[in-house]
Each structure stands twice: as C-alpha cells, then as structure tokens.
Amino acid sequence: MSAAKAQDASDVEQRLAALVTNVNAVQAMAQAVESTIGPKGLDVLLVDRFGDAVITNDGVTILSRMDANHPAARLVINVARAQEQKVGDGTTTATIMAAALLAEGLTQARRGVPVTRIIEGIRLGVQLAQKFIASVSRPVTDLDDPVLRQVALISGRGREDIADLVVEAAKKSGIKKLRDPGFRLAGAVVAAERAKNQVISGIIVDKKRLNTEMPRRVSDVRVLVVDDALEPQKVEDEALHTESGVALQKGYRAEFADNLQKLRALGVGLILVDRGVDPAAEQFLTDAGVMVLSRVLASDLRRAAEFSGARMVKRTALGKPPEELSRFLGHVDEAYEDEELERVIMTGGAGKPAATVLVGAATSEVVAERERIAQDAAGAVQAAVREGVVPGGGSVELAAALAVERARSSLQGMAAYGMSCVAEALRRPLAQIVANAGFNPLEKVGEAAAAQNAHHNPGLGIDCDTGGLVDMVNAGVMDPTLVKMHALAAAAEVAETILRIDTIIKMKDAEEVPGERAPSGG
C-alpha cells in the first residue's frame, strides 16, 4: 500500500473512530446472547461479585444483568427492556440484528458511503421488510387454534407443561382481554418453590394476612381497595401542643372509628391497603373477622380492584355515606392464604375475569428461570393473538431479506447500500440458529434462500436436528408477527441512533463549575 493510501485509510479510521467504538460495544452485547437463540441454543452463567449465579438463556435477563458501562451497550439494554415490556419476547433477535446492521453499516461507511445515505437505506429496507412480514402473517381468531400451543412451546423453550399452562390461562383470560393494550398475560405468571403447576381462575396477591389472628379464609365477601394508608387523618405535630389541636385529633379518630363500623355493616371482609394500617384499626378488623393485606404492590392493587370490581379509593372516601361508599366496593367468592405459597389467592371476582399461571420448581434458582420461561411464553401467546403469526425458525426474516434484495436492485443512489445492511441483518437470525445447531451457516442459509426462491415459500427453513430443509408452517414452528416486527424496528432504532453519533465527548459534572446547570437539551 502506498503512503498516500495508508494515510487515507488512517484518516477514514480516525473519522469513524466513534462509530467503530460503538459498533464494537454492540457486537460484544450480541456475542453474549447469540449462543442462546434457537432450539439448540445454550445457557449463559451470570455471576455477581458475591459469587451468586444465575443460569439462563433469556436474552433480556442476560443483557440487563451484564456489567456493561459503555453508553452504546446501555442503549442496547434499554431497547431490549422496551422490547420485553411491549411484546414480551424477541430481545435476542433484536440484539443480533442490531449488531449486524451496525457491522454492515460500518463496512459501508469505510467504503465511503455517507452515513446519512446508509440511514436512509436502512429506513427504506425496514419499511419494506415489515410490509413483507405483514403480508405473510396469518391472524389468530380462535383461542382453540393449535398454533397458540406451538407458539408457547417454542417461546417456552420446549417446556410442554409451561406451554399448556400458558394456553389455558390465555383461554381463561379471553380474546378481548388479550387484545387489550393495557393487559399483560406475562404479568399473571407467578412462580414459587414446591408449588403445584396450575392455572388459577383468579389472582394471587404477593402478601400474607396482616396478622395470624385474622381469618385465613373468607368467603362471599365485599372487597375494599385503599390506595392510601388505612388510618385517621392526622393533625400537625405543632398543633398537638394546643387544646384545639388535641380536640381535632380526637375528632378525626372518632370519625375513623365510625368509618370502620360502617365497613363492617357493609359486609366488607377483605381489605387491601397500599400503605400501613393504624394499630387500633388492625385490632378492630381482626375482631370483626376481616382479612387485611397491607403494603400491597401497586400492580397487585390494580389487579385486585379490576378482578373484584372494586374502585380504588383514598382514605378520605371512607367518610362517604354508606350507599355511596358501597359503589366503590368489589366482591369475591373466596380469598384465602395459601400456606405453601405464603400469598393470598382471590377467586370468583365480580369484575373482569382473570387467570394466574402458577409455576413451581424444586429450588429458588430453577423457579426464577421457569418464571422467565413462562413469562416469555405468555408474552408470545398474547402477541400472537394480537397480531397473528408468521413462519418461525428464522425463515420469515430470510424471506424478508430476499424481498429487500430484490427491491435494492432497482433502487438508484447510495441509499441502496443501507438496504443491503437490512438484508444482511435479516439473514443473521437463521445464520445464528443453524450455527448453534452445529451446521455451517453460510451453506445452510444459502440452501434455504435458494429453496425459498425456487418454491416461492417464505416458510422454508432449516431443520436443526438434521440440517435438511423443512417447511416451518407444516412443522408447527410459528412465531408472533408482532415480535418480528418490533424486533426489526428496535434493531433499526439502535443502529440509526449509533450511526448518527459522530463524536464522543466526555462531559464534566455540573458540580465541577459553581453555579453551572446541566444542559436541558435543544
């Protein structure tokens, strides 16, 4: 290489230094999870500084628990968490595709393609790929559709017991609730040591009775949900040193005692409280045979209110007339504290139907992993009900890659190089799946691509047991459309954000300069 060419290459590397650094960080994140994808994927051992270990192949668990300090790595972690929150699955696929997009984008930038043109091409490619994936998606309109169990089985890493539980819970929840954007079936998964695997037609609250003198079981009771403390209003400490302040405090206590009597007369037998409970109220309710759960998680409060048909209230609402307060109460056929679970189970609610997936295992480590598996399966099933399913095993991504490549050939301008990045990223899931199965990814992806082109079948992929071609639809390997669409969008979001970074500058702390404020943006 001549001195001039060497200098040009050095200039390019200096100009792309920030991009190279960020791409390397994302590649490291992808390498941490890529061995887990597919039916032959392996586990990762996470160890903290105390020696405590977690064994898992759940992508978001691995990424979120990694000791990652690089800003680009943290961006990947945040996107993975967002993917998990929105669709409950696909974090590993999103991470692998993001790394591939960036690696190919860096290659194109080194060739002299402007980053803005690469980003333009990525956007075009992603839009085309998503349009193609939507075109081969088939809806799920019946919860008895066998494809749901297949989706649960694949996302649940082959655990048939978990797949059956999740599908049963989906049926009990109902298709309307599953399509509600505010409902997460994965949130209905509860795991515990030595618990019996089952689906409960009700909810589990992660609390025990306030004290052991309260009834362990109550039946046919009205339910009060207090998004507040259950205690009388308080007078300021300074006012308690005055005669009027003391009198006012006595008045508050007398009013609170009357409100407790009112609850008893209304037939309230179960009270869930966001915060603490006044000792006198605890004693009164114990004597009245009321079960009280205090310091209940906000998520459990909402689920209990929805299931029982109650409306969450503040303590001031207890002063309302009985007929008005009655409208805020819910009802359950039964609530009882399970001795082994050490949690309260509510069944027969008067509100919206609910189902809870109870998953058990022998040890706390295994319980945690089975809970993650069940949550993934639940997220995948709900995503399938919401947006339908597509052929799995990396086949639909490969088909989308071929569609992008066909469109790229007719595109004029340098944005075509960005479309090539998308096509390469879409090939990566299948390539990694077959690599994890012990086959040559270059050979097998080529075979699958040729077969798809020859037969115009986007469901043709690779059997990870034999290495031969297989129709994923006929084999029952189906994935939720929503997971595929969101994984691609998430990967593109990471890639575009990082490709736009031209310079990395370390900020000084605002405290270093007296009176200086941190920038607010703009």
pLDDT tens for 88-107 read 678 889 999 999 999 999 99
Collapsing DSSP to helix, strand or coil, 348 comes out as strand
Q: Is residue 269 part of a domain?
A: yes
Examine the domain organization and report whether 239 and 320 are in the same domain: yes
- Helices 91-110 and 481-499 cross at an angle (nearest 10°) of 40
Q: Is residue 194 part of a domain?
A: no
Collapsing DSSP to helix, strand or coil, 195 comes out as coil
What are the beta bridge partners of residue 53? 47
Examine the domain organization and report whether 208 and 347 are in the same domain: yes
pLDDT at 234: 77
Examine the domain organization and report whether 416 and 312 are in the same domain: no
Examine the domain organization and report whether 302 and 408 are in the same domain: no
**CATH code assigned at 222:** 3.50.7.10
Examine the domain organization and report whether 398 and 463 are in the same domain: yes
Examine the domain organization and report whether 230 and 350 are in the same domain: yes
Q: Is residue 475 part of a domain?
A: yes
Domain count, the chain: 2
Res 81 pLDDT > 60: yes
Question: 356-361 and 189-193: which strand pairing?
Answer: parallel
User: What pLDDT band is residue 309 in, cutting at 50, 70 and 90?
Assistant: very high
Q: Is residue 112 part of a domain?
A: yes
Q: Is residue 244 part of a domain?
A: yes
Q: pLDDT tens, 456-485?
A: 999 999 999 999 999 999 999 999 999 999
Res 411 pLDDT > 80: yes
Size (the chain), residues: 522
Examine the domain organization and report whether 16 and 80 are in the same domain: yes
Q: What is the mean pLDDT of residues 211-227?
A: 96
Query: What average pLDDT is seen over the chain?
Result: 89
Examine the domain organization and report whether 20 and 117 are in the same domain: yes
pLDDT at 15: 67
Domain containing 337 equals 202-354
Q: pLDDT tens, 114-172?
A: 999 999 999 999 999 999 999 999 999 999 999 999 999 999 988 999 999 999 999 98
- What are the tokens at 245? 């302040």
Examine the domain organization and report whether 409 and 281 are in the same domain: no
Q: At which residue do the structure tokens 């960036």 appear?
A: 102
- The one-character DSSP state at 313 is B
pLDDT at 379: 92
How far apart are the C-alpha atoms of 97 and 490, rounded to whole Å?
Answer: 9
Res 511 pLDDT > 90: no
Of 107-116, 190-199, 312-321, give the lowest mean pLDDT range.
190-199
What are the beta bridge partners of residue 357? 189, 199
How far apart are the C-alpha atoms of 366 and 338, rounded to whole Å?
Answer: 21
Q: Is residue 161 part of a domain?
A: no
Examine the domain organization and report whether 394 and 495 are in the same domain: yes
pLDDT at 140: 95
User: What pLDDT band is residue 493 in, cutting at 50, 70 and 90?
Assistant: very high
Give 249-264 as a 3 state SS string: HHHHHHHHHHHHHHHH
Q: Which backbone phi and psi does 87 adopt, to 5 degrees?
A: -125, -10
The domain boundary residue, chosen from 326, 354, 382: 354
pLDDT at 239: 62
Examine the domain organization and report whether 257 and 334 are in the same domain: yes
Q: pLDDT tens, 441-461?
A: 999 999 999 999 999 999 999
Q: At which residue do the structure tokens 């310091």 appear?
A: 295
Q: Find, among 476, 489, 481, 302, the residue nearest to 382 by Cα.
A: 481
How far apart are the C-alpha atoms of 377 and 154, rounded to whole Å?
Answer: 8
- The one-character DSSP state at 460 is E
Question: 343-349 and 202-205: which strand pairing?
Answer: antiparallel
Q: Is residue 186 part of a domain?
A: no
Examine the domain organization and report whether 465 and 323 are in the same domain: no
pLDDT at 204: 94
CB 63 within 8 A of CB 374: no
Res 522 pLDDT > 50: no
